[in-house]
């Protein structure tokens, strides 16, 4: 219900004195992001740690009450101990000149209410996936001795994608701080909560335990499945009446096709007789896991699970003598801002008053009529038969009472505690303990009790035996070492390790033979969930290297190019060459590929043409000089000199005597 327009306008117009204030010399108060009946929430900057936080400031009417403030501090400290991934963290608490405040984790995003508006009605699997972290947070609180007392979609925050899309429950402990010992608080004996999610016992007498949170969680589940609240009315008093006198209807009545065991889960969580509800959120969480697994298995009808969750027949309405018309309901009209933190926004305040049982009207005795009797002899058969019947009925009743009820007790809730603590609790209740086969769990830490047989809240013989199932923690397996195995061998090893075989890709390897495994992705030794897909990288053998023929080319370039391809270059020798210039490659072995990394290529390097010294042949006859030069491999060219006179002797040579020239060069003889 929206506040009157003039009230909302006044709120917008009135400046907020807290905005801009520095609380406790640490928290710079920014814009208000939510306002409720007991507190307002502001976005603030923690100037000491340079981070954004949410600061919840109690309204002056509550914060001025010393007794309430002290209780608020105690509950804030208790809530701060809840180190759970699905609980909004409480960082700090303080009192700055009468301003009582909490500094909390800032969760930008939206609320579960927004999800319900957009998605409901939703599939049971989707609904349970949203509810599971909420109940997990409640279970942690119940183990710590805290009861939330205001579980509703507005108090469930869903962080945006930039912050991991985490589901977190807000306002732990605050509702308990207000409602505990309410007759002595500033609330004036008024129970504060949200009427759509109030457990019947809260409406009737204002007292509750963890099962009130279980009831609210069941109502939230109904709303996720159907998109509607189970009890609607024109006024809060009508809604409260229906919580007390009407069962939550099966969701399948609104959305046909919902499995019967899901209906049974909703009925169990929202039982008006709180003795039939799960003892706490840990027990409810276990039931949620069973239902979620059955949904994942694709089972539409599970009679055993439905029977386990179904309510026991009751002989009478637990609230048949309650006149809810005598209950006082006060509706608060507060503005809300749900994008960030819903700070117990818009609660309904219910004053529980139970009317005394109505006495039946006194009946006037009828006037006695005269009876005429005839004296008769007494017989012992009548009284004796009556006595025997009475004794027989007494024996049958006692036997039925003993065998049906008296010899049984209720299995205590010991989920989520250590094996030793669970055994101690059960033994104190006079029950024997045995440890069953442990099981893996994604939500229960190793060493803690995952389940019991019988389940918590179910009947068990006095001095009977309760079997504990201890959690092994999350089921994880190490990727096996399959290097150098064949593909078939590696696939067998993965399947034996409860892992799935992924893709096989090939890659060259210098050390692993073709067809064998080089590595796995993820790597060997990595710890992963069961059925994780593991890819195999297989060897194609050594990478082939194509080689160019460097014959006749520069030897230095040839060596550099071959070594870049990881080949070993061997200089097989140097030789004279008339056709290959000095520094060139005369020959290469091999001249073509394929080769492989580390193979050797032999090169013969040219020293260029072989040089021969020109001999002295001056003054020799032309024939003798020609013969001597040709013997050294020279070509001879004979010409007359400018001074030729016909003698026929060598006057000079070109190149001259003593010059070093290549073998085969032409020597010119000049004759005189």
Residue 362, pLDDT > 80, answer no
Q: Which of 65, 150, 213, 334 is flagged as catalytic?
A: 150
Comparing 41-55, 110-124, 247-261, 436-450, the range with the smallest average pLDDT is: 436-450
pLDDT-derived band at 524 (thresholds 50, 70, 90) equals: very high
Bridge partners for 613 per DSSP: 660
Return the higher-pLDDT residue of 90 and 73: 90
Q: Inform me whether the pLDDT recorded for 112 exceeds 90.
A: yes
- Does pLDDT of 521 surpass 90? yes
Distance, CA of 564 to CA of 561 (rounded, Å): 5
Nearest residue to 581 (alpha-carbon basis) of 556, 549, 602: 556
Cα(343)–Cα(62) distance, integer angstroms: 15
pLDDT surpassing 60 at residue 644:
yes
- Among this protein's residues, is 301 annotated catalytic? no
- pLDDT, greater one: 573 or 206: 573
Per-residue pLDDT for 175 more than 70? no
Query: What number is the average pLDDT over the span 332-346?
Result: 33
Q: Stretch 58-81: mean pLDDT, rounded?
A: 68
Say whether pLDDT at 335 is over 50.
no
Q: Region 424-442: what's the mean pLDDT?
A: 88
Residue 209 confidence (pLDDT):
87
In tens, the pLDDT along 562-575 reads 999 999 999 999 98
Cis peptide before 121 (omega within 30 of 0): yes
Torsion over CA: 419, 422, 427, 432 (sign): negative
For residues 164 and 160, the model is more confident at 160
In this predicted structure, the answer to whether residue 66 has a pLDDT above a threshold of 50 is yes
Tokens encoding 484: 């150098």
Question: Does residue 16 carry a pLDDT above 60?
Answer: yes
- Judged by phi (left if over 0) then psi (alpha if -120 to 50, else beta), residue 228 lies in beta
Q: How far apart (Å, rounded) are the C-alpha atoms in residues 216 and 112?
A: 14
Residue 296 confidence (pLDDT): 93
* Residue 241 pLDDT exceeds 70: yes
Mean pLDDT of 203-221: 90
Please check the confidence at residue 286 and state whether its pLDDT lies above 90: yes
Supply the pLDDT for residue 637. Answer: 92
The Cα–Cα gap between 317 and 255 comes to 27
Q: Assign 253 a pLDDT band (cuts: 50, 70, 90).
A: very high
SS3 545: strand
pLDDT for the residue 173: 52
- Out of 72-86, 185-199, 219-233, the most confident range is 219-233
Phi-psi group of 27: left, alpha or beta (phi > 0 → left; psi -120 to 50 → alpha; rest → beta): beta
Among 103-112, 115-124, 178-187, 619-628, the range with the most confident prediction by mean pLDDT is 115-124
Domains in the chain, start-ordered, CATH in brackets?
18-105 (3.30.200.20), 109-332 (1.10.510.10), 415-470 (3.30.10.20), 477-539 (3.30.10.20), 544-608 (3.30.10.20), 612-671 (3.30.10.20)
CA distances to 127, 323, 481, 540, 543 from 514, in Å? 51, 85, 18, 5, 10
Helix axes 210-226, 260-269, angle to 10 degrees: 140
DSSP 428-468: HTT-EEEE---B--SSS-TTBEEEEESPTTSEEETT-EEEE
pLDDT of res. 331 = 38
The rounded distance, in Å, linking the Cα atoms of 260 and 250 is 9
Can you tell me the mean pLDDT for 635-649? 86
Paired tokens of 569:
């270059």
Whether residue 360 is predicted with pLDDT greater than 50 in this model: the reply is no
pLDDT above 50: residue 188: no
Q: What is the mean pLDDT of residues 457-475?
A: 85
> In this structure, what token pair is assigned to residue 18?
């807290």
pLDDT at residue 280 tops 80:
yes
Instruction: Name the least confident of 110-119, 213-222, 351-360, 540-549.
Output: 351-360
Joined together, the tokens standing for residue 44 give: 């603030």
Average pLDDT, the chain: 80
Q: pTM for the whole thing? A: 0.50
For the CA atoms of 274, 276, 280, 286, the dihedral, rounded to the nearest 10 degrees, stands at -150
Distance between CA atoms of residues 579 and 581, nearest Å: 7
More confident residue, 26 or 192: 26
Answer yes or no: is pLDDT of 71 > 70: no
Residues 502, 535 contacting (CB under 8 angstroms): yes
In this prediction, residue 617 has a pLDDT band, given cuts at 50, 70 and 90, of: confident
Looking at residues 181-209, what average pLDDT do you find?
64
Please tell me the predicted confidence (pLDDT) of residue 355.
Answer: 41
- 125 pLDDT more than 50: yes
The C-alpha torsion from 141 through 143 and 149 to 150, rounded to 10°, is 30
Among 9-18, 105-114, 262-271, name the one with the lowest average pLDDT. Answer: 9-18
Instruction: Taking the CA atoms of 341, 342, 344 and 346 in sequence, report the sign of the dihedral they define.
Output: positive
pLDDT of residue 441: 85
Beta-bridge partner residues of 57: 40, 101
Q: By mean pLDDT, which of 147-151, 379-383, 488-492 is the weakest?
A: 379-383
Of the listed ranges 7-21, 423-437, 477-491, 628-642, the one predicted with least confidence: 7-21
pLDDT of residue 178: 45
Query: What is the DSSP code string of 10-67?
Result: HHHHSPPTTTT-EETTTEEEEEEEEE-SSEEEEEEEETTTTEEEEEEEE-HHHHT-HH
Tell me if residue 158 falls in helix, strand or coil. strand
pLDDT given at position 325:
45
Give, rounded to a whole angstrom, the gap between the first and last alpha carbons of the chain: 137
| CA distances (Å), origin 397, targets 156, 391, 420, 462 | 50, 10, 40, 20
Rounded mean pLDDT of 528-542? 92
pLDDT band for position 375 (50/70/90)? very low
Q: How confident is the model at residue 135 (pLDDT cuts 50, 70, 90)?
A: very high
Helix (H, G, I), strand (E, B) or coil at 393: helix
The CA-based diameter of the chain, rounded to the nearest angstrom, is 202
pLDDT tier, 191 (very low <50, low <70, confident <90, very high otherwise): very low
The Cα 172–Cα 88 span in angstroms is: 8
Res 190 pLDDT > 70? no
**Residue 238: its pLDDT value, please?**
87
Which residues, listed in sequence order, are joined to residue 506 by a DSSP beta bridge?
Answer: 538
272: confidence class by pLDDT, cuts 50, 70, 90: very high
Percent of the chain past pLDDT 70, that is, above it, reads 78
* Mean pLDDT for the stretch of residues 361-365: 43
Dig out the tokens for 508 from the structure: 């060259």
Confidence of residue 33 (pLDDT cuts 50, 70, 90): confident
Q: 598 or 330: whose pLDDT is higher? A: 598
Q: Is the pLDDT of residue 345 over 60?
A: no
């Amino acid at each position: 219900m929206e506040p009157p327009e003039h009230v909302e306008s006044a709120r917008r117009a009135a400046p907020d004195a807290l905005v801009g204030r520095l609380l406790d010399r640490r928290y710079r108060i920014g814009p208000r992001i939510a306002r409720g009946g007991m507190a307002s929430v502001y976005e603030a900057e923690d100037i000491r740690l340079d981070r954004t936080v949410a600061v919840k400031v109690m309204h002056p009417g509550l914060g001025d009450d010393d007794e309430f403030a002290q209780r608020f501090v105690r509950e804030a400290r208790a809530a701060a101990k809840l180190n759970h991934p699905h609980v909004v963290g409480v960082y700090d608490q303080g009192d700055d000149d009468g301003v009582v405040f909490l500094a909390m984790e800032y969760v930008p995003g939206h609320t579960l209410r927004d999800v319900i508006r957009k998605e409901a009605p939703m599939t049971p699997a989707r609904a349970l996936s949203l509810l599971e972290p909420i109940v997990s947070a409640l279970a942690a609180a119940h183990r710590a001795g805290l009861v939330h007392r205001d579980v509703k979609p507005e108090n469930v925050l869903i962080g945006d994608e930039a912050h991991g899309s985490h589901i977190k429950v807000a306002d732990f402990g605050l509702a308990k701080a207000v409602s505990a010992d309410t007759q002595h608080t500033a609330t004036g004996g008024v129970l504060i909560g949200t009427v759509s999610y109030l457990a019947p016992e809260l409406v009737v007498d204002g007292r509750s335990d963890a099962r009130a949170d279980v009831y609210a969680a069941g109502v939230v589940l109904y709303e996720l499945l159907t998109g509607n609240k189970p009890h609607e009315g024109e006024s809060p008093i009508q809604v409260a009446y229906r919580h007390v006198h009407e069962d939550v209807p099966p969701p399948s009545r609104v959305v046909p096709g919902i499995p019967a065991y899901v209906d049974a889960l909703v009925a169990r969580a929202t039982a008006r007789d709180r003795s039939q509800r799960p003892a706490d959120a840990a027990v409810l969480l276990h039931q949620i896991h069973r239902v979620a697994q059955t949904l994942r298995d694709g089972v539409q009808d599970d009679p055993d699970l439905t029977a386990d969750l179904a309510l026991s027949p009751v002989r009478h309405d637990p609230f048949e003598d309650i006149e809810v018309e005598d209950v006082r309901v006060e509706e608060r009209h507060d503005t809300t801002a749900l994008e960030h933190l819903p700070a117990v926004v818009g609660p309904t305040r219910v004053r529980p008053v139970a009317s005394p049982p109505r006495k039946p009207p006194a009946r006037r005795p009828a006037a006695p009529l005269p009876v005429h009797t005839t004296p008769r002899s007494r017989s012992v058969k009548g009284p004796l038969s009556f006595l025997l019947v009475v004794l027989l009925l007494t024996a049958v009743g006692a036997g039925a009472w003993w065998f049906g009820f008296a010899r049984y007790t209720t299995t205590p809730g010991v989920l989520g505690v250590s094996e030793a603590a669970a055994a101690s609790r059960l033994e104190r209740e006079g029950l024997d303990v045995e440890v069953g086969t442990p099981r893996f769990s994604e939500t229960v830490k190793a060493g803690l009790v995952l389940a019991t047989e019988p389940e918590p809240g179910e009947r068990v013989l006095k001095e009977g035996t309760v079997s504990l199932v201890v959690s092994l923690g999350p089921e994880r397996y190490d990727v096996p070492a399959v290097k150098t195995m064949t593909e078939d061998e590696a696939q067998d090893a993965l399947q034996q390790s409860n892992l799935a075989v992924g893709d096989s890709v090939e890659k060259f390897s210098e050390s692993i033979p073709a067809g064998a495994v080089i590595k796995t992705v993820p790597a060997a030794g990595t710890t992963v969930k069961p059925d994780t897909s593991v890819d195999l990288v297989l060897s194609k053998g050594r990478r082939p290297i194509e080689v160019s023929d460097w014959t006749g080319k520069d030897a230095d370039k040839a060596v550099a190019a071959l070594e870049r391809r990881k080949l070993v270059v061997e200089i097989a020798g140097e030789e004279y060459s008339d056709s290959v210039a000095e520094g060139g490659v005369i020959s290469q072995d091999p001249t073509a590929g394929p080769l492989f990394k580390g193979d050797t290529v032999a090169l013969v390097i040219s020293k260029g043409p072989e040089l021969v010294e020109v001999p002295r042949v001056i003054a020799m006859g032309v024939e003798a000089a020609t013969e001597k030069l040709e013997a050294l491999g020279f070509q001879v060219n004979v010409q007359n000199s400018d001074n030729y006179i016909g003698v026929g002797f060598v006057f000079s040579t070109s190149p001259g005597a003593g010059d070093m020239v290549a073998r085969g060069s032409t020597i010119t003889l000049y004759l005189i």
